[in-house]
């Protein structure tokens, strides 16, 4: 179960937040084959003064539309094992 944290400056409409969440979720489903129902996202909106970033670090232009995404993955129970035993590589 990936846990996704999405951080951005406050003030965007709900539809914008949903599009970001949907894009991240779809990418996880397509790239690491998580089940479509395995969706756990925490969206935090911050005052501009509490969202600190360098607008030109590594010569990459950033604006107040910056979104920071953290994805936490952990190895868990083997889905193919009816007993729910921990996978062999854990």
Q: What is the CATH number of the domain that holds 53?
A: 3.30.429.10
Per the structure, the complete domain to which residue 49 belongs is given by 3-72
pLDDT over threshold 70, residue 86: no
Among left, alpha and beta (phi > 0; psi -120 to 50; other), residue 46 is: beta
Q: What's the chain's average pLDDT?
A: 88
Confirm whether pTM is higher than 0.85.
no
Structure tokens at 65: 């539309």
Residue 1 has pLDDT above 90, yes or no: no
Q: How far is it, in rounded angstroms, from Cα 33 to Cα 31? A: 6
- Asked whether residue 85 is assigned to any structural domain, the reply reads no
Residue 25 and residue 56: Cα distance in Å, rounded?
28
CA separation for the pair 73, 25 (Å, rounded): 13
Contact (Cβ atoms closer than 8 angstroms) between residue 18 and residue 63: no
pLDDT band at 74 (very low <50, low <70, confident <90, very high): confident
Tally of domains in the chain: 1
pLDDT tens-digit map of 9-24? 999 999 999 999 999 9
Q: Is 13 a catalytic site residue? A: no
């Amino acid at each position: 179960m990936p846990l996704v944290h999405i951080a951005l400056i406050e003030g965007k409409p709900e539809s914008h937040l949903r599009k970001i969440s949907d894009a991240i979720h779809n990418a996880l489903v397509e790239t690491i084959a998580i089940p479509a129902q395995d969706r756990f996202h925490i969206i935090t909106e911050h005052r501009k003064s509490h969202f600190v970033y360098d607008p030109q670090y590594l010569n990459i232009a950033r604006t107040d539309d910056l979104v920071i995404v953290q994805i936490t993955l952990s190895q868990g129970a083997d889905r193919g094992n009816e007993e729910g035993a921990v996978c062999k590589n854990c």
